[in-house]
Amino acid sequence: MVGYIIGIVLGVIIFLLQNFKPTSVGFRIAFLILTIAFIWGISYAQLGYWNILVIPVGVMVLCFFVALCFPYGGDSAKSEYMYINGQNYYMELQNEDLIGRIEVPGVKQTYDRILNGILFEIASSDDEFKSLGKALYSKNFYPISIHTKEEIVQHIRWAFEMVANSSSNGYSIRSKAEDNIESIFNAYVSVMSIHEEATRNIEQLKRN
């Protein structure tokens, strides 16, 4: 019984840690149901102190398989962006407006993940997903603050057009990209703005 209780505590900790990460709604629901069912079912196995190892490992394995079934996608990425940032730079700027220096909350890796979530929704294969990311990041516009909204939008559309032209799903890519242009722009600008501020800070330290 002691081993089972300790195993449950460790399993719950792992469960909570995984749910603190950005995940889809389907993942959260399925992971919760399967975790409860697993912990309840393992109680009949009478594993004693082996539960300290079996339950946490079992929860991690469940997490892995549920994540494969319910991956982090476009809707999850957009929800995370609104929670972390919430600013709609796309709507705030006119085409001829400079991006300017903006204070972006969070870290670059967060917005990279958000962009990947949106791209995953647009791409129909792993190769397309990688190609979209490569094309999108092929230009970083440093410093982005001196570039206009129109320049950034044109680059985003160019990146998707490049991949669409070499894909049998070209129409789908173009259509989905246009539907998500606002979210892609916001996340891309956030990434590049964080990059600009970090680079400026490093240059300032070198001068000092």
Percent over 90 (pLDDT), the chain: 48
CA angle 165, 167, 169 (to 5 degrees): 110
**H-type alpha helices, 1-148:** 2-20, 25-42, 51-69, 74-84, 89-92, 108-122, 126-136
Q: Identify whether the C-beta of residue 167 lies closer than 8 Å to the C-beta of residue 173.
A: yes
| 45 pLDDT above the threshold of 70 | yes
Tokens of 143: 């410093």
pLDDT (tens digit per residue) in 148-170: 999 999 999 999 999 999 888 88
> Can you tell me the distance from the alpha carbon of 46 to that of 1, in angstroms, rounded to the nearest whole number?
9
| 144 pLDDT above the threshold of 90 | yes
What lies within 8 Å, CB to CB, of 44 at 6+ separation is none
| 74 pLDDT above the threshold of 80 | yes
**Residue 188 pLDDT grade (very low, low, confident, very high; cuts 50, 70, 90):** very high
The Cβ of residue 65 has, within 10 Å, a number of other Cβ atoms equal to: 12
Task: Name 98's bridge partners.
Answer: 148
| 22 pLDDT above the threshold of 70 | no
pLDDT of residue 136: 93
